[in-house]
Amino acid sequence: MRTNSVNQAMKARGLKYFSALTPQQKDKTVLQIKKLKSGLQNLPDGLAIQIMEPSALFENIDLTGCKMFKHNNIYYPLNIAEYLKAK
């Protein structure tokens, strides 16, 4: 269970739990991780989705309980390196 002091510290640093994101933010986060893993991060979302291998599109990325930071209006997990090297 999260304590009030943890929530205050996270808020002060601009962090959120994945579960606190809106469905649109969650979808955008998962898509960005998939784009990074596929090396398509510089492409628009629609084009990247068309180019991505089907296995990458349907890959399940479980971010439950992750602390997220915001960069360029997109949330990324603090432990993003683990998600990028996992295949």
**pLDDT average, residue stretch 17-44:** 93
Which residues form the domain of 36?
A: 4-85
Q: Are the CB atoms for 74 and 32 separated by under 8 Å?
A: yes
Q: Please give the tally of structural domains in the chain.
A: 1
Identity at 62, one-letter amino acid code: D
Average pLDDT over residues 69-75: 92
Give the Cβ contact number of residue 14 at 10 Å: 10
pLDDT in tens, 41-64: 999 999 999 998 888 878 888 998
Token pair 């439950």 in the structure block, residue: 64
What is the C-alpha separation between 44 and 35, in angstroms, rounded? 10
The pLDDT of residue 2: 56
2-6, 13-17, 20-24 — which one is most confidently predicted on average? Answer: 20-24
Our CA dihedral for 27, 32, 34, 38, rounded to 10 degrees, sits at 160
> Considering the chain, what is the average pLDDT of its residues?
88
